[in-house]
Every structure is written in structure tokens, then in C-alpha cells.
Structure 1
Amino acid sequence: MKSAVENLNPTRVRLTVEVPFEELKPSLDAAYKKINQQVTVPGFRKGKIPARIIDQRFGRGAVLEEAVNEALPKFYTDAVNEGELNPLGQPEVDITELKDNELLTFTAEVDIRPTIEIPDYSGIEVTVDAVEVSDEDLDKSVEQLRERFATTSPVERAAAEGDIVVIDLEAKVEGEVLEDGVATGVTYTIGSGELLDGIDEAVTGLEAGGEATFASELKGGSAQGKEAEVSVKVSEVKARELPELDDDFAQLASEFDTLEELRADSRKRLERSKKFEQATQAQEKVLDALLELVEVPIPEKLLEEEINTRKHNLEHHQLGQMGLNLESYLQMQDKTAEEFDAELKEQAEKGIRTQFVLDELVNKEQLSVGQEELTEHLMRRAQSSGMSPDQFAQAVVEGGQVPMLVGEVARGKALAVVVEAAKVVDDKGETVDLDDEEDETGETVEATSEAVEAPAGAEAATEAAEEPAESQEKQDKAES
């Protein structure tokens, strides 16, 4: 077999492969054997039909087609290895010549990983926010804890902001009550903004048994986006009572004996949280600075697949779980479809460029992934997915996604190498030490998810094709 590589552009090549017919003989023998098991010819036992009879009855072209189909993946893979290529996705295969007992020639066009030169990144310098915990931050944190220990009790008075009301709702559009527009016994905190626009004004001032009507645009359901007339009836008003901020509260809400000790611990937690945020900010800025240093051509098909996958995931998974569609989401975000598409393309491009650059860094720095590192990453991914570690691990193994997780860990380590080499200062000019920063849960900060996780559609696209795609011309030539 002989092969040649033609660079069509920095991310796409055309392989031209010539295969002497004798190298097709094993596949030809396998084709006769397969057809033997599938057909019946009078006068011959199944599996014992001579090759010449198969040629007479079913045509030599059918045998050649079967043989070529069986042989192409191996010849394509051999040509890829010979050319030292890193293919992305399935190739487009075209049989250019098939001469019986003489020669098979085919071409295969495929996207490849671009060649990337990683420049000296030791001069990267970024500025991040300084870690500061103000008295206002501390008061807000303690107040949030206080809110968790609030109690409620029914009151016989008009509802006011901050009160909890139990309400019944009925929505009409063009005078007709919607099938999914009736709800009873809904608990709502006035001023939370968690229900329909206009409901706060409608229920404020109502006592138990009071009713009101207001107009609002529906956020979900069968009439999503339409203007509705909503009737609301208050069946109960409850007041929220917050505990006093004293030592008794500290003992109720924590392991501390005094409010002073509780506030001191809260300040430490806020400092750890802000340091974690600072470290994440540093990683993101260092990554952006690194990407600016590197020229990364992007395969058009890979970019198209990534955009489509991200859009599909948003529409059918994330928005679907919230009862929204893309149109209502764009309205909430105050974006046009064109602005959304431009942002999606920018995100997809950055995701692909990030993966390519960090993967190249993994090779350059000869980084490896240990079993313990992989297990820790798997645990984190399982937690974020809402699955148990065992369930997530099983899904990963069954889906053949272990290499993807290994790649994520390796890319995280590659980014850590760059961050370590970079100079990070805060907005006060102080040098920031990012070693062993932990978040409020005690987890050591690692590379951002955008950096370490594969692009949404990259799982299939970055795997070398096992079977080249068939072409109509191949079939036509084989049949001839």
C-alpha cells in the first residue's frame, strides 16, 4: 500500500491511497465466506458454494463491494498512522479507481488537529480582585444564616412585604381559563419575585379571604409569553419572625457559644470563599492571556458541530427543565437571535481553542494522570451531575468516556502549570499566592470547568474514525 498526504488547509487533509489487489485478498476471501453463509444455491450445501458460482449468480461486483467495505477501515487507519495524523471525526471517502485483480485507489478527506506552537508563557501577568471582607459582607452573611432560622406564624392583618401568603391562582387568556392556569395552596413570600410580575402589588394589603385581579405575562405553560388576566385569592397570611442576634442565636445556629465567635468564624469562611473566587479568576485570566499568545486554526465542521450541540443542550435540557423555550429565554436575556448566535459561536470557538492548546501543553510538558487524580475528578463530576459516584462511574465506563475524563484532568494540570509560571497580582499591587487555595467546602481549587472539560460536541468529533464513510461512487464502481 502507498499513501500520500495533501494539506488542503491547516485543519484538513486529503489522503490518496493505492492498494495492490493482492492486499485485498484476505478481505475478498472473507467476502466470499460471508456471502456463502447468507445465500442458498440449489445443488450446493450452505457455506460450500464455489467462488465462481457466487460470481455467476450474484455478480463479481457484489463480492468486490463487500471486500472493499471490509478492507477500507484498515487501509485508512494504516494511511493515517503512516502520515502521523491526528484525525477529527469521520473522513469523506471516495473510491477513485477499482480494477479487478489489479488496483484499488481511494481518497479520504478528514479534519485534523492543527499543529500548534506553544510560546514562552512565563511572562504572563494578570491582575485579580483583592481579597477583602467588609463589615457589610459579614452582616449580610450572618443575616442569611438568621433567615434560615426564621419562624412563621399566622396573623390576622393585611399582608405586607416579607410576609408569607397561601394563595389560589386562576389565569385567563382572552376570557378563557387555561387548563394549566389553575393552582391552589401556593405558598409565596411577598417581594421574592418568584412568581408572576404584578402579584406583589396585588396581594399586598389583602387579608385572609381577600381577592384581587391583575394582568401579567405568563412565564411558562401552554400560553407562555401571552398576556393573562390572573385572579388571586389569599387564604392565609403568615408573618416571619427572625431570632434575635445574640449568644442564644449563636448556640442555636452553630457550635459556638457567643455571637462574637460566630461572626469571627463567618469572616474566616468569607475570606476562604473570596480566595477561592480569586484563584478561579486568576485561572480564567491566565487562560485568556495564554490563548491570546497562540494562533489556533479551528476546523469548520468541528466548530459547526460544537455550536449545534451547545444549542441543542441549551434548548432541550437546560431550558426544558425550567419550562422555557429559546424564544422566551432570549426575551428574558434581552438578546436578539443574532446576538445569541454570535455569543454561542464565540463560546464554542473558545472551548475548542482551549482544548487544543491545553492538550498540546499536556504533550509538551509530558503530563500524566494518576488513578487517584482520576478518581477525585470523577467524584467531583458525579456530584455536579447529581449522580452517585458508582452510577456516574458505570455510565462513564459503559459510554466509553474514560479517556475524556482523563483528558479533562490532564488539561487541568496543564493549566495549573501555566498559572504557576504566571505572575498574579491583586488590584492593590500585592502578589497573590495561589498554592493550595481551598473553597468554603475545603476542596482545593482546580482548573475552571471551561478549561478542563471537553467541548460539548467534541467526544465523537475528536475520536479517529474507525470506519470511513461510504460513498455512492464507491458502490457504483464496485458493482461495475
Structure 2
Amino acid sequence: MKSAVETLNPTRVRLTVEVPFEELKPSLDAAYKKINQQVTVPGFRKGKIPARIIDQRFGRGAVLEEAVNDALPKLYQSAVEEGELSPLGQPEVDITELKDNELLTFTAEVDIRPEIEIPDYQGIEVEVEAAEVADEDVDQAVEQLRERFASTTAVERAAAEGDVVKVDLEAKVDGEVLEDGVAQGVDYTIGSGELLDGIDDAVTGLEAGGSATFASELKGGSAAGREAEVTVTVAAVSARELPELDDEFAQLASEFDTLEEMREDSRKRLADQKKYEQATQAQEKVLDALLELVEVPVPEKLLQDEVESRKHQLVNHQLGQLGLDLAAYLKMQEKTEEQFEEELKEQAGKGIRTQFVLDQLVSTEKLNVSQEELTEHLMRRAQSSGMSPDQFAQAVVEGGQVPMLVGEVARGKALATVVEAVTVKDTNGEVVDLDEGDGEAGDEAEAEAGASEAEAAEAGASDESADQKSES
């Protein structure tokens, strides 16, 4: 077999493969054997029909077609390996010549990973927010905890800011009550902004038994994004009482004996959180700076597939769970469909370029993934998915997703390698040491940026894919 590679553009090649007919003999024998098991010829036992009889009865062409379809995947894979290519997606196979007992020639066009040269990235410098915890931050955290331990007492007066009201709601659109527009016994804290726009003004000043009607744009449900006429009826009014900020509250709300100890613990937790956020911000900014230094061509078909995948995920899963369709979502976001498509294309392109660059770094830096690192990553992914580690691991193995997880960990290590080599300063001009606490942040930041569909597309360049293309 002889093969030649023609570069069509930086991300696509055409393979031309010439196969001497003798190399098709194993597939030709397999074709005769398969046809033998499928057909019946009077005078011959099943499976014992001579090849010349099959040629006479069913045509040599049918045998050749079966043999070529059997051989193509293996021949294509050999040509890919000989050309040292990294294909993405399915090849487009075209049989250009088939001379019985002489020669088979075919071409295969396929997208490939572009060749990427990683520049010297040590000169990158990024700025992140300083991980400072002010007294006001601690006050706010303690106040939020205090809010959680607030008690309510029923009062016989008009509702006011901060009160908890129990309300019944009825929403109409075009004068018709919506099937999903009725709710009863809903507890709402006036001023929290957790329900409909306009409800605060409507219920303020109402006593138990009072009603009001107001107009509001619905956020979800069957009429999401449309203006509705909402009637709210107050069933009860309760005043909220906050506990005193003292040692007794600290003992109630935490494991500490004094308010000062509880405040110090809040300060430490806030510091850890800000350090985590700082590490994540550093990862994102370093990645953006690295991508600006590298020219990364993106295969058009891969980009289209990624855009469609992200759009499908948003429309059919995320928005579907909220009871929204794309039109309602775009209205809420104040975007046109063209703007949405352009943003989606930009995000998808960045995701693919990110994966290409980080995968090249994995190769350049010769990074490996240990079993311990893979297990830690699996545990984190299981936790975020709501599954137990055993359930998640089983799903990963059964779905053939282990290589994908290995890739995620490797790319996380690649990004961490770059972050360690560059200069990160905070807004105070101080050099930031990200050695502590940035591992998990780096892993999660990479997971958000990495284009997992690009990994799946690469896996699509399989023998079966070549077979299917040749048959079509």
C-alpha cells in the first residue's frame, strides 16, 4: 500500500491511497464467506457455494463492494498512522478507482489537529484582585448568618419592608388565567426581590385579606417573557425579628463560644474563598494571555458541531428545566438571535483553541496523569454531578469516558504549569503566591474552558466511521 498526504489547509488534509489487489485478499475471502452464509443456491449446501458460482449468480461487483467496505477502515487507519496524522471527526472517503485483480485507489479528506508552536510564555504578567478581607466583609457574613436565624411573629397591621407575607398569586395573559399561573401559600420577604418585579410595591401597605393587581414580565413557565396581569392576595403578615449579636447567638449559630471567635472563623473562611477566587481568576487571565500569543486555526466543521452542541445543551436542558424557550431567553438577555449565535460561535471557538493549545502543552512538557490525580478528579466530578464516586466511576467506564477524564486532568496540569511560570500580581502590585489552594481551582477553570466535544469529535475518526462513509 502506498499513501500520500496533501495539505488542503492548516486543519484539513486529503489522503490518496493505492492498494495492490493482493492486499485485499483477506477481505475478499471474508466477503465470499459472509455471502455464503446469507444466500442459498440449489445443488449446494449452505456455506459450501464455490466462489465462481457466487460470481455468476450474484455478480462479482457485490463481492468486491463487500470486500472494499471491510478493508477500508483498516487501510484508512494505516494511512493515518503512516502520515503521522491526528484526525478529528469522520473522514470523507471516495473510491476513485477499482480494477478487479489489479488496484484499489481511494481518497479520504479529514480534519486534523493543527500544528501549534507554543511560544515562550514566561514573560506573561497578569493582574488579579487582591485577596483582602475587610471588616465590612466579616460584618456582612455575620449578618447573613443572623438572617438565617431570624424568627417571625404574626402581626395585625399593614405589611412593610422586611416583613414576611404569605400570599396567593394568580397570573393572567390576554385576560386568561394561565394553567401554571396560580400559586397559593407562598412565603415572601418584602424587599428580597425573589419573586416578581412589582410585587414589593403591590403588597406594601396591605393587611391580611387585602389584594392588589400589578403588571409584571413572567420569568418562567408557559408564558415566560410575556407581560402578565398578576393579582396578589395577602393571607398573613409576619414581622421578622433578628437575634442579638452576642455570645449566646455565636453558641446558637456555630461551634464557637464567643462572638469574637465566630467572627474570626468567618474572616478565615472569607480569606480562603478569596484565595480560591484569586487562583481561578489567575487561571482564566493566564489562559487568555496565552491564547493571544498563539495562532490556532480551527476546523470549520468542528466549530459548527461545537456550536450546535452548546446550543442544544442550553435550549433542551438548561432552559428546558427553567420552563423557558430560546425566544424568551433572548428577550430576557436583550439580545438578537444573530448576537446570540455570534457569542456562541466565539465561545465555542475559544473552547476548541483552548483544548488544542493545552493538549500541545501536555505533549511539549511531557506531562503524565497519575492514578491518584485521576481518582481525585473523578471524586470532584462525582460530587458536582450529584452521584456517588462509585456510581460516577461506573458510568465513566461504561461510557468509555476514561480518556476524556485523563485529558481533562492533563490539560489542568498544563495550565497550572504555565501559571507557575508567569508573573501574577494583585491590584496592590504584590506578587501572588498561588502554590496553596490553586489546584482545584485550576482544574475547574480548565474544565469550564476545555471543549469536551472536540475530544469526542477526535474519537469519531474510527474504523466504523470510515466504513460508514464508504458505504454512503
TM-score range, shorter chain: over 0.9
* C-alpha distance in 1 between matches for 2:345 and 2:221: 30
1:390-410 C-alpha deviation (Å, 9 max, x unpaired): 121111111111000000000
1:93-127 C-alpha deviation (Å, 9 max, x unpaired): 00000111111100000000011111111111111
* C-alpha distance in 2 between matches for 1:334 and 1:207: 37
* C-alpha distance in 1 between matches for 2:450 and 2:58: 48
Q: Indicate how the Cα distance of structure 1 residues 445 and 218 shifts in structure 2: closer, same or farther if over 3 A, else same.
A: closer
- Residue 248 of structure 1 deviates from its aligned partner by 0.5
Q: Is the 8 A contact 2:222 2:324 kept in 1?
A: no
* C-alpha distance in 1 between matches for 2:165 and 2:236: 6
Query: TM-score by structure 1 length?
Result: 0.94
* C-alpha distance in 2 between matches for 1:71 and 1:467: 11
* C-alpha distance in 1 between matches for 2:173 and 2:131: 51
Answer yes or no: is 1:328 the counterpart of 2:328: yes
* Partner residue in 2 for 1:131: 131
* Partner residue in 1 for 2:280: 280
* C-alpha distance in 1 between matches for 2:336 and 2:258: 53
| One-letter amino acid of the counterpart of residue 105, structure 1 | T
Q: Is the 8 A contact 2:131 2:275 kept in 1?
A: yes
* Partner residue in 2 for 1:19: 19
* Partner residue in 2 for 1:446: 442
Q: Is the 8 A contact 1:126 1:286 kept in 2?
A: yes
Q: Indicate how the Cα distance of structure 1 residues 385 and 406 shifts in structure 2: closer, same or farther if over 3 A, else same.
A: same
Q: Is the 8 A contact 1:302 1:461 kept in 2?
A: yes
Name the stretch that deviates more: 54-63 or 452-461.
452-461
* Partner residue in 1 for 2:413: 413
* C-alpha distance in 2 between matches for 1:229 and 1:277: 42
- Residue 475 of structure 1 deviates from its aligned partner by 6.0
* C-alpha distance in 1 between matches for 2:455 and 2:27: 31
* Partner residue in 2 for 1:466: 463
Query: TM-score by structure 2 length?
Result: 0.96
Answer yes or no: is 1:39 the counterpart of 2:71: no
Q: Is the 8 A contact 1:138 1:267 kept in 2?
A: yes
Q: Is the 8 A contact 1:133 1:267 kept in 2?
A: yes
* Partner residue in 1 for 2:75: 75
* Partner residue in 2 for 1:154: 154
* C-alpha distance in 1 between matches for 2:252 and 2:463: 62
1:365-418 C-alpha deviation (Å, 9 max, x unpaired): 111001110011011111111222112111111111100000000011111111
* Partner residue in 2 for 1:256: 256
Q: Is the 8 A contact 1:407 1:452 kept in 2?
A: no
Q: Is the 8 A contact 2:198 2:214 kept in 1?
A: yes
* Partner residue in 2 for 1:10: 10
* Partner residue in 1 for 2:177: 177
* Partner residue in 2 for 1:397: 397
* Partner residue in 2 for 1:233: 233
* C-alpha distance in 2 between matches for 1:51 and 1:315: 55
Q: Indicate how the Cα distance of structure 1 residues 288 and 423 shifts in structure 2: closer, same or farther if over 3 A, else same.
A: same
Name the stretch that deviates more: 407-416 or 52-61.
52-61
Q: Is the 8 A contact 1:379 1:389 kept in 2?
A: yes
- The SS at the match of 1:447 is helix
- The SS at the match of 1:47 is coil
Aligned residue among 451, 454, 460 for 1:455? 451
TM alignment of 1:68-467, pairs within 5 A: 68-437=68-437, 444-450=440-446, 454-463=450-459, 464-467=461-464
Structure 2: 5+ residue runs without aligned partners? none
Q: Is the 8 A contact 1:167 1:234 kept in 2?
A: yes
Q: Is the 8 A contact 2:73 2:467 kept in 1?
A: no
* C-alpha distance in 2 between matches for 1:101 and 1:71: 15
- Residue 276 of structure 1 deviates from its aligned partner by 1.2
Structure 1: 5+ residue runs without aligned partners? none
| One-letter amino acid of the counterpart of residue 343, structure 2 | E
- Residue 176 of structure 1 deviates from its aligned partner by 2.0
Name the stretch that deviates more: 205-214 or 79-88.
205-214
Name segments (4+ residues, structure 1) moved above 6 Å.
none
| One-letter amino acid of the counterpart of residue 262, structure 2 | L
| One-letter amino acid of the counterpart of residue 462, structure 2 | A
- Residue 173 of structure 1 deviates from its aligned partner by 2.1
1:120-141 C-alpha deviation (Å, 9 max, x unpaired): 1111111111122112111111
* C-alpha distance in 2 between matches for 1:460 and 1:218: 38
* C-alpha distance in 2 between matches for 1:453 and 1:285: 12
Q: Is the 8 A contact 1:118 1:360 kept in 2?
A: yes
| One-letter amino acid of the counterpart of residue 80, structure 2 | V
| One-letter amino acid of the counterpart of residue 311, structure 1 | K
Q: Is the 8 A contact 2:284 2:445 kept in 1?
A: no
Q: Is the 8 A contact 1:6 1:13 kept in 2?
A: yes
- Residue 444 of structure 1 deviates from its aligned partner by 4.8
| One-letter amino acid of the counterpart of residue 69, structure 2 | N
* C-alpha distance in 2 between matches for 1:231 and 1:8: 64
1:424-456 C-alpha deviation (Å, 9 max, x unpaired): 111211111111226xxxx85433434576414
User: Identity rate of aligned residues, in percent?
Assistant: 79
- Residue 191 of structure 1 deviates from its aligned partner by 1.9
| One-letter amino acid of the counterpart of residue 465, structure 1 | S
Q: Is the 8 A contact 2:280 2:445 kept in 1?
A: no
Name the stretch that deviates more: 156-165 or 4-13.
156-165
Q: Indicate how the Cα distance of structure 1 residues 471 and 100 shifts in structure 2: closer, same or farther if over 3 A, else same.
A: farther
- Residue 227 of structure 1 deviates from its aligned partner by 2.4
- Residue 469 of structure 1 deviates from its aligned partner by 4.2
Q: Is the 8 A contact 1:351 1:451 kept in 2?
A: no
| One-letter amino acid of the counterpart of residue 464, structure 2 | E
- Residue 192 of structure 1 deviates from its aligned partner by 2.1
| One-letter amino acid of the counterpart of residue 385, structure 1 | S
Q: Is the 8 A contact 1:203 1:212 kept in 2?
A: yes
| One-letter amino acid of the counterpart of residue 292, structure 1 | E
- The SS at the match of 1:462 is helix
Q: For this pair of structures, how many residues does the alignment match?
A: 471
Q: Indicate how the Cα distance of structure 1 residues 369 and 456 shifts in structure 2: closer, same or farther if over 3 A, else same.
A: closer
Q: Indicate how the Cα distance of structure 1 residues 471 and 70 shifts in structure 2: closer, same or farther if over 3 A, else same.
A: closer
- Residue 468 of structure 1 deviates from its aligned partner by 4.0
- The SS at the match of 1:127 is strand
